[in-house]
Amino acid sequence: MTPLPLTVTAVTIAQIESAINHWRERSLPVSPDIDPENLVLCAQARALADVYGMMIYRRQTSVEFSALSAQQRDALAVTL
């Protein structure tokens, strides 16, 4: 796990989206035999997609870092 800057108290929806894209790009299959219509998100992107979807539903622009699960914080730590 990458340590976060001590000043991180909230995370914006743009930061979460960027982290999802980071994990999605990192886990994309390189085989031409893979059907692009049936891709599955990796665990890190899935965890972030849950909070991202709720933020969109609630029309939030940021979320408190302390409100995230350990898995979501770990997935974000790599990209912040």
pLDDT in tens, 1-26: 444 555 668 999 999 999 999 998 88
Question: For 16-54, how does the pLDDT look when each residue is reduced to its tens digit (9 = 90+)?
Answer: 999 999 998 887 665 566 666 766 788 999 999 999 999
Is residue 46 assigned to a domain? yes
| Beta carbons within 10 angstroms of residue 72's beta carbon | 22
Report residue 59 as tokens: 């029309």
- Give the structural domain span for 48: 1-29+41-68
What's the structural domain count of the chain?
Answer: 1
- Indicate the length of the chain as a whole number: 80
Is residue 76 assigned to a domain? no
Measured in whole angstroms, the distance separating CA 13 from the mean position of its chain's CA atoms is 10
Please answer whether residues 15 and 80 qualify as being in contact, where contact means their C-beta atoms are separated by less than 8 angstroms: yes
